Structure 1
Amino acid sequence: MRANKPQSPFNLKIILICFFFLFLLFLILRSTFSYSQQQNNSTPHTETPTNPNPKDCSFIPTCTKIAPSLAHALVHYATLNITPQQTFKEISVSLKILEKKSPCNFLVFGLGHDSLMWTSLNHGGRTVFLEEDKSWIQQINARIPSLESYHVNYDTKVTQADELLEISEREECRTVSDPRFSKCQLALKGLPSEIYDIDWDLIMVDAPTGYFDGAPGRMSAIYTAGLMARNRENGETDVFVHDVDRVVEDKFSKALLCQGYLREQEGRIRHFTIPSHRTRSARPFCP
């Protein structure tokens, strides 16, 4: 989510501005259409007076305002000179799901310049960010205090990836449970309690840092995202993993989120749809 690796050579600023305007237009039209339907369903069909009273409130047109969070996002990205780490096509993969599920519960591993965009696209829902760098949280919150973010400690290194991938095949890692009580070494157990208590509709894994050997890598984040999805009360969770062009993200997403749950890949992002395993105790870890 942060600018911690080489950026794409092209600038998406203008595309994102247009993208947000189109999204806002969609929200306004949907709101207006819903209001019109409500009026048609609740008001008897009567003949319209030829000379309606201009003081009659029923003839006053409604005015739909842009939500403050969306207006803030438009200004933020219109004045931002930083290219987002995800391309327009990659963002569109998550957007398709948000259009269907929003407002919803959206958990994002990583806090960055695109965080306000995710919050705005999930307008009316709850979007939470998990970040490894405390100082980075302070920098982002100073500019965008409305974002909900929490600090996360990771005790892994990219150099441990092969060993952890072998560990992930053990029985304790294939057992579905609350991550807090999992015996698997990969499970993140130190998150705020409410993170475990919420059934997340979408989870985006775009952190922690994973592009050099000493970085924590995304092994635990990917495993925990999959475990949360399987452990939800019912329904399914859409899980997205970014940077699958890298070895760790590629191998761990295929092994722990399962190729049988893979729905789409666009560029460097993969989309998995993982159903609840609690409703079917005999369901295998991977289909």
Structure 2
Amino acid sequence: MASGTGNASKTHFAINAKIILLSFLFLFLLLLIVRTSFPSSQQLYSPVPSSSTELTIQTQQAQESASASAADCPTTTAAATCAKTPPSLAQALVHYATTNITPQQTYDEISVSLRVLAKKSPCNFLVFGLGHDSLMWTSLNHGGRTVFLEEDKAWIDQVTQKLPTLEAFHVTYDTKVTQAEKLMKLRDEEECKAVSDPRSSKCELAHKGFPSEVYDVEWDLIMVDAPTGWHDDAPGRMTAIYTAGLIARNRESGETDVFVHDVDRVIEDGFSKAFLCEGYLTEQVGRLRHFTVPSHRARSGRPFCP
């Protein structure tokens, strides 16, 4: 009887989680439709031109804007099509509505990244790990680029066969969880405090074997939710966390939002604090920690940690 009650509770929880996720996606879709369907406040309240020259300029700008809109939706029929649900969001809604498998993160944890995506998307989003939440992240970054780095080649093949629109790369790691204590000592080494392209870094923690896209793109968000780190022979997230921080610091300007999941574990907790820096910590919700890491190239002389 107790077992049956437990199974019923799990089923009830899974259904609730699914409803919450679908609500997130519907709200995001509604926001997209509202933003694309209504004119901006600048369009609604543009001032009356004070001269014929200003009128000419505004007329030209209006024509250019109309031409751009026409290119996207040149006919009434096309305009109606533009108001339809984007394919990525439609696919996500159907996918999560027809599966009992829910994302690894909790509602509150997902909400942290969602708030940032709501401000920055469409953007460049790098995710360490390919999981049951991958289609969700791609959909929430509709119109942007979302890339996944995964250690298990067979898992990539399995997921992308079902969801071919996901952009995933197979990567390998040459570390083990048992090396974490030794690698942590590198935080005091000068070569590990130097900010550069990870491929040219002299720090042992810098991962040099990722696809070139990882190093060449300026990422607006980075989510570290892999590689595996829950047993001794697993690679652990030591180099993933350090390299994510180095990529963020090495961007030309601006800042990168870096998220680390599973910070209830020793490695994720210690390495995120040491190499993403407590001074850059924005918030922590549940097992998710959010850092806002500024460009170090934009201001020379900035210390590795504030």
Q: When the two structures are superposed, what TM-score results if normalisation uses the length of structure 1?
A: 0.88
1:211 aligns with 2:235: no
Report matched runs for 1:58-137 at 5 Å. 63=80, 64-137=83-156
1:35 Cα deviation after fit: 7.5
SS in 2 for 1:237: strand
Q: Which amino acid letter does the alignment assign opposite residue 178 of structure 1?
A: D
Query: In the alignment, what sits opposite 2:280?
Result: 261
Q: Which amino acid letter does the alignment assign opposite residue 21 of structure 2?
A: L
Query: In the alignment, what sits opposite 1:24?
Result: 29
Distance 2:272 2:38 in 1: 40
Distance 2:174 2:78 in 1: 58
Q: 153, 170, 177: which is aligned to 2:196? A: 177
Distance 1:121 1:224 in 2: 24
Change (3 A) 1:210 1:39: same
Per-residue CA distance 1:230-251 (angstroms, 9 max, x = gap): 0001110000000000000000
Query: In the alignment, what sits opposite 1:33?
Result: 38
1:167 Cα deviation after fit: 1.6
Change (3 A) 1:108 1:59: closer
Q: 251, 257, 260: which is aligned to 1:232? A: 251
1:34 Cα deviation after fit: 3.6
Q: 240, 245, 251: which is aligned to 2:270? A: 251
Query: In the alignment, what sits opposite 2:64?
Result: none
Q: Which amino acid letter does the alignment assign opposite residue 32 of structure 2?
A: L
Per-residue CA distance 1:111-143 (angstroms, 9 max, x = gap): 011101000000000000000000000001100
Q: Is the 8 A contact 1:242 1:268 kept in 2?
A: yes
Q: Which amino acid letter does the alignment assign opposite residue 263 of structure 1?
A: T
Distance 1:70 1:268 in 2: 27
Distance 2:39 2:154 in 1: 43
Distance 2:297 2:29 in 1: 37
Query: In the alignment, what sits opposite 1:51?
Result: none
Distance 2:145 2:77 in 1: 34
Q: When the two structures are aligned, how many residues end up with a matched partner?
A: 267
SS in 2 for 1:241: strand
Change (3 A) 1:165 1:24: same
Q: Is the 8 A contact 1:225 1:239 kept in 2?
A: yes
Q: 172, 176, 186: which is aligned to 1:157? A: 176
Q: Is the 8 A contact 2:122 2:145 kept in 1?
A: yes
1:278 aligns with 2:297: yes
Query: Superposition RMSD on alpha carbons, in Å?
Result: 2.3
SS in 2 for 1:95: helix
Q: Is the 8 A contact 1:105 1:201 kept in 2?
A: yes
Structure (1 or 2) with the greater helix fraction? 2
1:88 Cα deviation after fit: 0.7
**Which structure has more RCO (C-alpha within 8 Å, separation ≥ 6)?**
1
In structure 1, the gaps of 5 or more residues are 1-7, 44-56
1:200 Cα deviation after fit: 0.4
1:93 Cα deviation after fit: 0.2
1:274 Cα deviation after fit: 0.3
Per-residue CA distance 1:168-208 (angstroms, 9 max, x = gap): 32111110000001011111101111210111000000000
SS in 2 for 1:263: strand
Distance 1:178 1:34 in 2: 42
Distance 1:257 1:153 in 2: 22
Distance 1:108 1:58 in 2: 38
Q: Which amino acid letter does the alignment assign opposite residue 86 of structure 2?
A: A
Q: Is the 8 A contact 1:168 1:186 kept in 2?
A: no
Q: Is the 8 A contact 2:255 2:294 kept in 1?
A: yes
Distance 1:80 1:255 in 2: 38
Q: When the two structures are superposed, what TM-score results if normalisation uses the length of structure 2?
A: 0.83
